[in-house]
């Protein structure tokens, strides 16, 4: 019986292999899988959630809900914020659930959510109205009375899960692609425009479009959980870094794979011994109990051998079931038949593998045939994965930003390092642990590079330009900031070194970054000495201000730093302090600084700089976009300036605790805005 199907299986496998390089989408089977995020994403009362989704079938958890997105607090059932866009109940109604603290939930529902094919969904929320679009057509627009902050006390943000009172009420059953969140209400015309398969960098490389999160789901970075489960890092394409984790048995599959209701799913297992048991699941929703199943598995090459196929007695009558297998090079053919019907859902069997080479071994079920069923099942990839080594500096079986911090602590001598950790931290392979090693790990984590180590750092990370100190800028007779200047720089990913100052008359306060970049910076302050290490994901380029060193001083002087040493990437550049310019050094561009202190009560200082003379408006707004107070609205000369806000409104009444925005406009053009937190 086995060889009867062999030629057909080889033919089918060749067809499916031809599609294996397609864009990837998230596949969820409505069991235990979803995408989890660690911080609030929606920060406005005007927002849009839109995506492409393929609902496989009805079902997917309690109440048969198929949630696409949820942002919510679970701390107090009476006072929580929730935004839930989903299809709910057995009839697949499209639904938006809105709730802010102190209010009862409101439901906006419409139409039937179709299944069995791809559709575009858009859920739009405005301060008093919510709308649902299906494939660019408005299907419902209803008023709501919610008021307040949707981001208050958020505990979790998920794609594909509805969780209430520590219970999963629903999980999405199907495929999701091109998931995007906008901090503005898209118009009908805009929805039609963004319904294309992908959006270009003109949408996600700046904040102008209002796009605050964008997950293409076309790739994933493998991570490892504490329960020895393989997790995947999902990248946000925007600069907001709302990266997520693909949990449990969710996986990525080619977007154009035949979307049947039937699934054969290979799990992922970590290689922690010479023998690994790998489960193979079946999830057949449109198949009655069957008596024959055959499938083809490939990918192990000469790195693992199959020792045994162990059937699950709960799925079949083991005594009457025949299991045959044949190995042909890198391909394993398995044939299962029984006179008694087998079950159609659950863990079918275990494959016992003998590991020959401890490297990642991706496995693929490339084709399958079910007796009496013409429709081919969806075939989900799994595999055997080794524990993380290179780049895992802190040895927690993860390569993430904690390893970047660990390496920078090593560079600053804040962390002792063992010989084993040294090997894992030195990802450039030059025999030293440097800030560039931290940058390379950060690039790998953010998928700028696809493998470690990077052994040709001399050519890949060659740089030009220099780093110098500007002349001190005195905000008062006792407070000064020193700009760190980039001069004609190119391809600088990492900086480290030390600065020496007279601690008898100076006290270091902080380093304030000027560039809006996603780098990690660490300082180790000793009496009279500041050691620093900076690791960047993207290169520093051009001429600009890197940041500001803030000091308090007993005596006003133009030379506060007596020695300044820099290591750029892994090339040594040691120099005595060089102050560029005179005491009247002017800014090279406009700049809005972060307020300090932050959080504050009752007064905070907001610094800003302008390159040329102009009319400056600096105003404070609440999270609803309402003007709270204008701190200044007058002409300013070129230079570095600051204003104060004392936590009052236009009528000098104290404002309530919360998040506020301060907006910097120059000559009636909004240039920048930042957030601050007022606490009573």
- DSSP state, residue 393: T
Q: Tokens representing 6?
A: 């062999």
Cα atoms in the Cβ-side hemisphere of radius 13 Å centred on 521 = 20
Confidence class of residue 516 from pLDDT cuts 50, 70 and 90?
low
Asked if residues 360 and 291 have their Cβ atoms less than 8 Å apart, the reply is no
pLDDT of residue 514: 74
Q: 625-651 pLDDT, tens per residue?
A: 899 999 999 999 887 788 889 999 999
Q: Mean pLDDT over residues 576-599, rounded?
A: 59
List the one residue out of 551, 653, 656, 674 whose CA is nearest residue 601.
656
The predicted-structure confidence for 26-59, as pLDDT tens digits, reads as follows 887 776 778 887 666 787 788 999 999 888 755 4
CB-facing half-sphere around the CA of 243: CA atoms within 13 A: 15
pLDDT at position 663 is 92
- Check whether 273 has a pLDDT greater than 70: yes
The tokens 């805005």 sit on which residue? 673
Other CB atoms within 10 A of residue 389 CB:
14
Q: Are 95 and 88 in contact (CB under 8 A)?
A: yes
Q: Residue range 658-664: average pLDDT?
A: 88
Over 90: is that where the pLDDT of 545 sits?
Answer: no
Half-sphere exposure of 664 (CA within 13 A, CB side): 21
186-206 residue pLDDT tens: 999 999 999 877 888 888 888
Whole-angstrom Cα distance, residue 150 to residue 546? 35
Those residues with Cβ within 8 angstroms of residue 642's Cβ, 6 or more apart along the chain or in another chain: 475, 605, 606, 607, 608
Radius of gyration of the chain (CA): 29
Per-residue CA distances from 424 to 51, 264, 389, 434, 633 (Å): 39, 37, 6, 12, 54
Question: Dihedral, CA atoms, 634, 637, 638, 639, nearest 10 degrees?
Answer: -90
300 within 8 A of 383, measured Cβ to Cβ: no
Average confidence score pLDDT of the chain: 77
- List b or e across 101-119, with b for residues whose CB sees 16 or more CB atoms inside 10 angstroms: bebeebebbbeebebeebe
Judged by phi (left if over 0) then psi (alpha if -120 to 50, else beta), residue 330 lies in alpha
Largest CA distance in the chain: 95
User: What pLDDT was estimated at residue 71?
Assistant: 81
β-pair partners for 61:
none
- Please report which confidence band the pLDDT of residue 248 belongs to, taking 50, 70 and 90 as the band edges: low
Spell out the SS3 assignment of 582-626: CCCCCCCCCEECCCECCCECCCEEEEEEECCCEEEEEEEEECCCC
Q: Is the pLDDT of residue 185 over 90?
A: yes
Asked if the model's pLDDT at residue 331 lies above 50, the reply is yes
Least confident stretch, 152-166, 395-409, 463-477, 521-535: 152-166
186-190, 320-324, 514-518, 662-666: segment of lowest average pLDDT: 514-518
- Mean pLDDT in residue range 224-245: 65
pLDDT band with cut points at 50, 70 and 90 for residue 142: very high
| pTM, to two decimals | 0.49
> What percent of the chain is modeled with pLDDT above 70?
75
Give the pLDDT band of residue 372 (cuts 50, 70, 90): low
Higher pLDDT, 423 or 485: 485
The more confidently predicted of residues 364 and 669 is 669
Give the pairing type, strands 268-271 and 382-386.
Answer: parallel
What phi and psi values does residue 69 have, to the nearest 5 degrees?
-155, 145
Residue pLDDT, tens place only, 92-140: 678 888 888 777 888 888 766 676 778 899 999 999 999 999 999 999 9
The number of residues making up the chain comes to: 680
Single out the residue of 622, 617, 612 nearest to residue 678, CA to CA.
622
Rounded distance between C-alpha atoms, residue 446 and residue 450, angstroms:
9
Determine the 3-state secondary structure of 250 from DSSP. coil
Q: How far is it, in rounded angstroms, from Cα 543 to Cα 495?
A: 16
Long-range pairs of 59-62 with CB within 8 A, sequence gap ≥ 24? 59/30, 59/173, 59/285, 60/30, 60/170, 60/171, 60/172, 60/173, 61/30, 61/162, 61/168, 61/169, 61/170, 61/171, 62/167, 62/168, 62/169, 62/170
Tokens for 140, please give them: 């419902």
Higher pLDDT, 231 or 158: 158
pLDDT computed for residue 263 by the predictor: 75
327's tokens: 């190995």
DSSP state of 2: T
Start-to-end CA span in the chain (Å): 77
Helix axes 401-411, 435-445, angle to 10 degrees: 180
Residue 529: predicted pLDDT: 85
What is the set of domains in the chain, with CATH numbers? 3-16+257-386 (2.60.40.680), 24-254 (2.60.120.200), 391-584 (2.60.40.680), 591-678 (2.60.40.4070)
CB 466 within 8 A of CB 487: yes
The span from the CA of 331 to the CA of 327, in Å, is 6
Q: What average pLDDT does range 522-551 have in this prediction?
A: 84
Q: CB–CB of 483/493 below 8 Å?
A: no
- Contact present, 634 and 651 (Cβ < 8 Å): no
Is 80 exceeded by the pLDDT of residue 183? Answer: yes
**pLDDT at res. 575:** 52
> Does the pLDDT at position 585 exceed 50?
no
């Amino acid at each position: 019986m086995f060889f009867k199907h062999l030629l057909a299986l080889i033919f089918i496998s060749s067809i499916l292999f031809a599609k294996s390089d397609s864009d990837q989408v998230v596949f969820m089977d409505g069991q235990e899988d979803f995408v989890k995020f660690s911080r609030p994403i929606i920060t406005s009362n005007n927002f849009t959630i839109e995506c492409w989704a393929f609902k496989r079938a009805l079902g997917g958890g309690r109440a048969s809900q198929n949630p696409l997105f949820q942002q919510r607090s679970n701390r107090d059932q009476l006072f929580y914020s929730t935004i839930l866009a989903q299809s709910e109940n057995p009839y697949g109604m499209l639904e938006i659930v809105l709730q802010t603290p102190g209010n009862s939930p409101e439901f906006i529902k419409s139409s039937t959510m179709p299944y069995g094919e791809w559709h575009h969904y858009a859920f739009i929320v405005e301060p008093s109205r919510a709308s649902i679009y299906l494939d660019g057509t408005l299907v419902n627009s209803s008023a709501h009375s919610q008021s307040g902050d949707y981001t208050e006390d958020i505990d979790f943000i998920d794609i594909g899960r509805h969780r209430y009172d520590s219970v999963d009420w629903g999980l999405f059953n199907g495929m999701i692609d091109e998931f995007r969140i906008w901090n503005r209400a898209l118009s009908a015309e805009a929805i039609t425009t963004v319904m294309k398969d992908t959006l270009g960098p003109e949408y996600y490389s700046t904040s102008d479009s209002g796009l605050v999160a964008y997950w293409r789901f076309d790739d994933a970075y493998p991570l490892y959980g504490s329960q020895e489960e393989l997790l995947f890092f999902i990248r946000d394409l925007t600069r907001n870094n709302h990266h997520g984790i693909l949990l449990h048995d969710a996986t990525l599959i080619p977007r154009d794979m035949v979307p049947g209701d039937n699934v054969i799913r290979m799990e992922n297992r970590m290689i922690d011994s010479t023998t690994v048991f790998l489960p193979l699941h079946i999830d057949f929703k449109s198949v009655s109990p069957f008596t024959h199943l055959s499938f083809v598995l490939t990918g192990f090459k000469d790195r693992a051998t199959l020792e045994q196929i162990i059937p699950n007695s709960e799925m079949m009558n083991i005594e009457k079931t025949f299991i045959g297998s044949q190995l042909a090079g890198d391909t394993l053919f398995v044939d299962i038949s029984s006179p008694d019907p087998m079950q159609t859902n659950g863990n079918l069997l275990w494959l016992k593998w003998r590991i020959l080479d401890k490297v990642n071994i991706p496995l693929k079920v490339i084709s399958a045939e079910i007796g009496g069923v013409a429709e081919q099942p969806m075939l989900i990839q799994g595999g055997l994965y080794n524990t993380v080594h290179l780049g895992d500096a802190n040895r927690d079986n993860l390569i993430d930003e904690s390893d970047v911090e660990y390496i920078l602590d090593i560079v600053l001598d804040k962390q002792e390092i063992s010989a084993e950790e040294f090997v894992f931290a030195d990802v450039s392979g030059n025999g030293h642990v440097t800030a560039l090693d931290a940058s390379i790990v950060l690039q790998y984590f953010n998928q700028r590079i696809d493998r470690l180590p990077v052994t040709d750092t001399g050519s890949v990370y060659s740089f030009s330009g220099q780093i110098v100190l500007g002349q001190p800028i005195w905000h008062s007779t006792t407070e000064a900031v020193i700009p760190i200047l980039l001069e004609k720089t190119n391809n600088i990913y990492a900086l480290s070194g030390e600065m020496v100052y007279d601690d008898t008359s100076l006290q270091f306060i902080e380093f304030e970054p000027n560039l809006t970049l996603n780098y990690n910076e660490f300082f180790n302050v000793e009496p009279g000495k500041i050691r620093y290490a900076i690791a960047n994901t993207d290169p520093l380029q051009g001429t600009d201000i890197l940041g500001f060193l803030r000091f308090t001083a007993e005596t006003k002087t133009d030379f506060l730093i007596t020695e300044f040493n820099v290591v750029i990437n892994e090339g040594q550049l040691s120099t005595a302090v060089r102050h560029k310019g005179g005491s009247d050094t002017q800014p090279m561009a406009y700049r809005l600084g972060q307020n300090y202190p932050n959080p504050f009560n009752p007064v905070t200082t907001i610094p800003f700089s302008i390159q040329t003379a102009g009319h400056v408006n600096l105003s404070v707004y609440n999270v609803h976009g309402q003007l709270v107070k204008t701190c200044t609205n007058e002409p300013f000369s070129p230079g570095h300036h600051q204003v104060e806000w004392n936590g009052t409104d236009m009528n000098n009444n104290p404002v309530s605790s919360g998040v506020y925005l301060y907006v910097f406009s120059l000559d009636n053009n909004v240039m920048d805005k930042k957030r601050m937190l007022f606490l009573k």
